[in-house]
Each structure stands twice: as C-alpha cells, then as structure tokens.
Chains A and B, each alone.
Chain A
Amino acid sequence: MTLKTALASATILAACMFGSASAADMTVGFSQIGSESGWRAAETTLTKQQAESRGIDLKFADAQQKQENQIKAIRSFIAQGVDAILVAPVVATGWDDVLTEAKDAEIPVVLLDRTVDASEDLYLTAVTSDLVHEGNVAGKWLVDTVAGKPCNVVELQGTTGSSPAIDRKKGFEQALSGNDNLKIVRSQTGDFTRTKGKEVMESFLKAENGGKDICALYAHNDDMAVGAIQAIKEAGLKPGTDILVVSIDAVPDIFQAMAAGEANATVELTPNMAGPAFDALAAYKKDGTVPPKWIQTESKLYTQKDDPMKVYEEKKGLGY
C-alpha cells in the first residue's frame, strides 16, 4: 500500500519535473450543467471520450442545474491547479468573479455550448453552435429539394420564447425568403416534446385538408419530428414521401426514421463541443496560439443518402 502510494507520488513528481508541453499531460476540469436531456448526456459522454483519446485527465463535475454548484466546482478546479477549465454555463450572468479568479490563477477557461455575459478577456474562447445557421441549413435543404415547385410548409416550433425556438425559426425563414414557391402555412409550438409534436401535427393534418395540402414539415428538434411522423402515418400518409420531414439536432432516433424513409434530413447540433475545445487548448499550451473568441461548430446536414443506419449505430452508444 505504502509502496504503491510512494510510486504514485514519484510518477506525479516526475511528470511535474519534466514539464508539460503536449495535451497528453493536461489535466482539465469540466463543469457540466447536468443531464437534463439526451443531447446533454451525449455531450458528457463525448467529452469524456475525447479527453481519453487525447490522454487528457478529465475532472468531471455535474452541477445539477445550479450555478452555485458550477462556481464551487470551478473554484475547486482552481485550487487543484488544473491546466484548463471547460464550463457549460447554466445561466448567462454572474460569472465575472469566478472567471477573474481563474484568470488570476492563469488557468484558461473555455465555454461550451452556451456563452456568458462577461468580459471577453475572462475566457479563452467559446465553442458553440450557431442556432440561426442551423435553421438556415434546414431551410436551404428544403429550397433545393423542392426545386421551385410550390410547397406548403408546416412548422413545429420549440418552447415559445426559448432562444433555440426563436433562432431556428429565424434562420429557416431567412433561407426561405425570396422563394415564393415555399410558404409556411402553419406554425405552432410543440414544446420540443414527442407527445406535443404528435398532437400538434394531428391538428395540422386536420386543418390542412387531411394533410393533402402539406408538402413539408420543419421541426425545431428531432423529437417533435419523430412524434409528427407517427401522426402522419396514422393519418394514412407516408412521411418522407407525401410530406417531407426536416428537423434539427441529429439524435439517433431520427436516423432510424431516415433509414426507414420516413424522415428526409436533419441538421446536426454536435454534442462534440469538447473536441474543438481540446484542440484549441493544446495549441494554446504548445506555442501560445490564441484561438478566436468564438469557435463555431459545424452544423452538418444529414440526409437519407448518408447511410443513416451507420450513423445511428455510431450515435446510439453516446447516451442520447
């Protein structure tokens, strides 16, 4: 027992003595919001996987939706003297003090997935997706797919007033503007849930001549699309053929639907925010390369041509 401890101490000592230039020796603290959604769980899984593949020692702290827990976790990371800190901030405000503490301790902080209202020099960079851009990609795909034919679109919005709902609607409308053949005929909230997605789609189908007048469905997330696909099937129509289905997030279940020909396209909100973050950190540690203040993740478009079953198998294990 004592021998083991001694050996371990010796290893740590050695590591300290030889210094740390490569990412392989980094210790990174990660303060995660919690596990409120499948996407969040996948982000956690991927962050751990990315750290492991790079040989990074990841210290993980789950804040259970509380900012005070995140601040505590960051302070404890500072006290432990980690090399860098990743934070997925639960709210936008109230970070100045703790970020200043990190800066004073010369520990770079990278924001994941969301940004904060604080001075830009308090963090190294923020890795996030562009919500407006996601809507835009979905809209472009639809414009290209219908290729000038007239098309009535119904929209399933996210929770009324939430920023993904506002931005994804905005981006989609931007992509459609100037294409008079495409018209959003109905738009209603489905609260990002399958149940409401299905219920609202049922009412769209009734309201639009049993669905015969609908050419495409745009859902702000895949879960609502999955619910809506069931409603379309139960109404005796073929989703993916009679009604085109495009949505955002790229969760595993939508790939199953795409494989079955029931969904047409999805735009990925990648849960791999940590990969780009680790890359930026490694470069910064190696030769002081300062990354841009905002690293935008790729909003990748998946269609039925992209071997959806394969993607499904890849994504299945991530904890979605």
Chain B
Amino acid sequence: MNALKSHLLRLAPQIVVLIAVVLLISLAFPDFLTLQMQNGRIYGSLIDVLNRGAPVALLAIGMTIVIATRGIDLSVGAVMAICGAVAAASITSGHSLVYTLALALAVGMLCGLWNGILVAVLDIQPIIATLVLMVAGRGIAQLITEGAILTFNHPGLIFIGSGSFLGLPMPVVIWLAFGVAITLLVRRTALGMLVEALGINRRASTLSGVSTGVLLIAAYILSGLCAAIAGVIAAADIKGADANNAGLWLELDAILAVVVGGNSLLGGRFSIAASLLGAMIIQAINTGILLSGFPPEFNLIIKAAIIVLILVVQSPRVRDLSAWFGRSGSREAAVKQEAK
C-alpha cells in the first residue's frame, strides 16, 4: 500500500503536466477529447497521441535503463532505421513474418551489444561510443535499402503498424505491453536495484559483487531491442523503410522523454512509467501543435517553450520556491517528504 502511494507520488508531476497539456489543447480544440468507435477501433486525437508516440515511448523505455546506468544511447534513431530496413528487406525477399521479426529484433540487439561492449569493456564514454553507431547506422540502413524507400505489401507486417487489437492501434498495444513487461522485469527481479546501484556508484557496486559489466551490456542490448521494435513499427506504419528519415532525431526526443519524466541524467533512481508519461507529454504537444493550425514556422518554438516551462516547473529550485511560497501547508508536506 505504502509502495503504491510512493509510486504515485513519484509520478504526480508527470501526470499533472500531461493533464495540463491535454486540457490546454482541448481548450483550443474541443474535439481533442472526443473518442468514437470506427471500423472496430477507437478513433480520436487522444488515440493518435498514443499511437504516434509509440516510437518515442519504446525508445524511452530502453533509454531510461541506459541513463539509469549513468550512460546515454545516441544511436537509437539510427538503429531504428537499420532495423526497419532489415525488416523491409527480409519481408520483400520472401521470408516469413516470424523470421523477419526475429531477424530485425536480433539486429537491434546486436547493435546494442556493440554499444555495450564499447562502453563496458573498452570503457569508452557512452556519448562517444554510441555516437559511432548514430553516424554510421544511417549509412548502414541506406546500404540495405540502396538509398530508396523500400516498400512492402505483406499484410502481417503492415498489421504491426496500422492494425488494431481490442480497438487499440497495434503500436499502442505493443508499447504498453512492452513497457509493462520491462517494468515488471526490473521491479519484480533485483535488476532495477542493481542497475540503480551501478549508476550511482559503479566501483562500489563492483566491490559488492554486482556484475556491473554484464549489466551495462544488457542495458544497451535492451535499448537496441527497443529501437528495433520502434523501427519495425515505423516502417510498418508507412509500409516502407525510409533509411534517410526513419527515427531521425528521435534519440533526442527519447532523452527528452526521460528527462521530462523526472529521471536524472546522472543515473541512479529511475522510473519507466514516468518516462512513458514524458513521451506522451511530448507527443501531446506535437499533436496539439498540428491541430492548432499555426503556421509550421512556429512548431519548434512552441514545442521548445512548453518543454522549457515543464522543466522549469520540475526543477528542484522552483519546487523549493513554490514550497516556500505555499509556506505552512505545502512546506510542511515538503519537509515531511524529505524526511522520509
């Protein structure tokens, strides 16, 4: 019971921000909250947010774990492009869906293994180590697609991008299920605590017998796997692998999602649920901007302004300040929370 309460307390800022963003958009665009059934699936802007946010949400799952180890994975956007290309190439050359998916996910994990070895074994700084694949990865993807958009018509593969299950678009089902699965994996086993220990103090963890090297590599493999799933979804969504544009700059959105989720870039304590909320906040802003009808020149400025606002509100200084202004009531609460 207590654990649940502290969980909700941890997620409170993200939930509040998400609700605020959604309300703000629906003020400008009342239909935003409308949901209806159409062709056996739920249809509406909120579903679009969940659906369009799928790639960033998936990337954010892996990125959360990597950042918790005090690392960062810049290569996920490029790995998306590689895995999308691999899936498209495999399905168009006549392989089965199962084989294609297994191959794409395996390639993603291989990319993660490469990053993990650079970081854990060769001790290269994560930002440099993953930059290698970030730059080279898109080239590899272009080699696979030969520079063109590699299209396919396999209904099974397309289903992953635009099919639906229980009324929800498949990408939504996938990221929700994967998010829950990974959360259970790290929290129902000791992985979560060991990863946090590693991120806070790698040397002390090693001296306590934690296999820090193996854990680090596993974190990057997970990130590669997430990128692979995101890459397959992105390709299936447009029935084609676009090596030039798939996942472009999404590594930054994923990092942003983790940060908006209130996770520290310095590693340690992490919450996957908070990162997923962060991803949805970012996507809600994106969708809101598209619905607003502002000229596209303003897109990035609006997005940046809202995100700066969110980060400022979340910053410890401002929290202290608001606690101070709230004095009696909220300040005591803050102090109590601190004491816990």
A160 cross-chain contacts in B, Cβ below 8 A: 296-297, 299
Known: A206-B31, A230-B162. A38 touches B149 (CB 8 A): yes
Q: Is A188 interfacial (CB-CB < 8 Å)? A: yes
Write the nearest CB–CB distance from B278 to chain A, whole angstroms.
Answer: 19
Q: Is B246 interfacial (CB-CB < 8 Å)? A: yes
B48 cross-chain contacts in A, Cβ below 8 A: 199, 202-203, 206
Residue in A194, A199, A230 whose beta carbon sits within 8 Å of that of B52 in the complex: A199
Write the nearest CB–CB distance from A195 to chain B, whole angstroms.
Answer: 6
Do B296 and A253 touch across chains, with their CB atoms under 8 A apart? no
Known: A36-B147, A235-B43. A195 touches B296 (CB 8 A): no
Do A198 and B237 touch across chains, with their CB atoms under 8 A apart? yes
Known: A202-B48, A206-B44, A235-B43. A37 touches B242 (CB 8 A): no
Do B149 and A194 touch across chains, with their CB atoms under 8 A apart? yes
With a 10 A CB-CB cut-off, give which of A37, A188, A236, A319 has the most chain B CB atoms: A188
Binds A, one of B98-106, B196-204, B285-293, B310-318: B285-293
Q: Is B309 interfacial (CB-CB < 8 Å)? A: no
Q: Is A27 interfacial (CB-CB < 8 Å)? A: no
Q: Is A60 interfacial (CB-CB < 8 Å)? A: no
Which residues 227-273 in B have Cβ within 8 Å of A in the complex?
234, 237-240, 242, 244-246
B-contact bits for A284-320, CB 8 A (1 contact / 0 none): 0000000000000000000000000000000000011
Do A194 and B290 touch across chains, with their CB atoms under 8 A apart? no
Residue in B38, B238, B245, B296 whose beta carbon sits within 8 Å of that of A198 in the complex: B238
Q: Which residue of chain B has the shortest Cβ distance to A200 in the bound complex?
A: B290
Residue in B39, B43, B149, B299 whose beta carbon sits within 8 Å of that of A253 in the complex: B149
Do A195 and B45 touch across chains, with their CB atoms under 8 A apart? no
Q: Is B146 interfacial (CB-CB < 8 Å)? A: yes
Do B234 and A195 touch across chains, with their CB atoms under 8 A apart? yes
B38 cross-chain contacts in A, Cβ below 8 A: 235-236
B43 cross-chain contacts in A, Cβ below 8 A: 235
Q: Is A193 interfacial (CB-CB < 8 Å)? A: yes
Q: Is B94 interfacial (CB-CB < 8 Å)? A: no
Write the nearest CB–CB distance from B51 to chain A, whole angstroms.
Answer: 8
Q: Which residue of chain A has the shortest Cβ distance to B148 in the bound complex?
A: A38
B287 cross-chain contacts in A, Cβ below 8 A: 203
B-contact bits for A187-230, CB 8 A (1 contact / 0 none): 11101111100111011101100000000000000010011001
A-contact bits for B39-58, CB 8 A (1 contact / 0 none): 10001110010001000000
Write the nearest CB–CB distance from A33 to chain B, whole angstroms.
Answer: 12
Do B146 and A253 touch across chains, with their CB atoms under 8 A apart? no
A199 cross-chain contacts in B, Cβ below 8 A: 48, 52, 290
Known: A37-B147, A319-B146, A319-B147. A207 touches B29 (CB 8 A): yes
Q: Which residue of chain A has the shortest Cβ distance to B153 in the bound complex?
A: A256
Do A206 and B45 touch across chains, with their CB atoms under 8 A apart? yes
Write the nearest CB–CB distance from B310 to chain A, whole angstroms.
Answer: 21
A-contact bits for B47-75, CB 8 A (1 contact / 0 none): 01000100000000000000000000000
Q: Is B151 interfacial (CB-CB < 8 Å)? A: yes
Q: Which residue of chain B has the shortest Cβ distance to A186 in the bound complex?
A: B293
What is the CA–CA distance of A35 and B151 in the complex, to the nearest angstrom?
18
Write the nearest CB–CB distance from A197 to chain B, whole angstroms.
Answer: 8
Do B238 and A38 touch across chains, with their CB atoms under 8 A apart? no
What is the CA–CA distance of A194 and B244 in the complex, to the nearest angstrom?
11
Q: Is B209 interfacial (CB-CB < 8 Å)? A: no
Residue in A38, A157, A207, A235 whose beta carbon sits within 8 Å of that of B291 in the complex: A207
B-contact bits for A122-155, CB 8 A (1 contact / 0 none): 0000000000000000000000000000000000
- A–B complex contacts, Cβ < 8 Å, 18 sampled: A36-B147, A38-B149, A41-B148, A160-B299, A187-B296, A188-B290, A194-B242, A194-B245, A195-B242, A198-B237, A199-B52, A199-B290, A202-B48, A206-B291, A207-B290, A223-B149, A230-B239, A319-B148
